[in-house]
Structure 1
């Protein structure tokens, strides 16, 4: 197999090991864990890998209907290059993948052209809904199961390389439907341990992700990209932001800015001390 050149796109699948020759310790261990799991399934008589030809024919048929591999990948949350591995390359070389796990095969074969809604929508509401569920204590991996999206893709939407920009309309619809089902349900009722729920909530709080209760009275703006959530932001941070804007645009010093904002100069000093990123580029 010909190795790809350059830096792997990520280090959370086997692709970096098999296609790019990556030998980072974590990636080597991931490969070994995969091999151990494969051997276990073989010992137990489980069909660890099956023929990929039906998957290849299905992807080819979807392409013939005008559906791109990128659109298919986005709709089911599988990496685009994983799907392309089942198809011949543009140079006419044989496909790289001839075997596939039953789970991946089922996800691909379940896709129909009618299910893939062509077009994109703003991703603000989709990300806010996922973040709100995480703030309620739902681990992203478990959310992926309820959203019918791969956990890695869900994580990328809210904190990874896809955390900005539009999302497929089909993805937005999936997330909105699942949000309606899960927003009032306790994760512990679904087998998630209380200690895990507490840890996940702490992570979300540190990132100032608003829970579902915050959005209950704001559903009219949850999809509005111009709406700024102030959840988790203290009054002191708001003053630091406002003082920064006033001083930069008007050229005022801290005393004059404080007078305009209706606070003391000492309050602005404390606000800048607690949030130094807003003190950059303004007068002392």
Structure 2
């Protein structure tokens, strides 16, 4: 079976680095080892080996671990930014506070407190609002009154709240350091340069040819080659970048 999977392009063992990165993001978010091992149906030894640099893991284990999503424990208090943004986004598409509260099975005063800036919410509130958001984000407003939906949309525009589609496109809805007000600002010269260098480093590490990198980034191939050479000379890039001819 292993030989068949390898020949079909689906090897039994695959690189563990993406899984390690995902595990670290779960731990950073506050998810404990016990909950991760239970959700991933694996041992703490497996988690430890991956985090300590194991290069390859079984595909089935990787699939289970990558499928884990962070959900705070019901009694745990968590940062409220993502919950507040979800409520704002639902209001921006026409959902009234009372309708959101009813769907989430929380008191409407809880929604109001979150909108008014309460810094933390209980894990169970986070869960319920997140589930409500996932359900209502692409549904008609939960009100039969057109005037109520219009008032909610007007409030969203007035407050500058982003709708679910915007968050789908941009991501980072739970990141308190992400500022929606500057997200759509055109990148300045230094930011664009840093982005291009990062993309060049990433693509060359994957063995993408320099000419193709230049095409993807809309850059001159000779300039891309010069950038890679300069990065290698200054020690900011690995010599393996030069292998992408």
| TM-score tier after normalising by the smaller chain length | 0.3 to 0.5
- Structure with more relative contact order (C-alpha pairs < 8 Å, separation 6 or more): 2
Structure 1 or 2: larger helix share? 2
State TM-score, norm by structure 2: 0.43
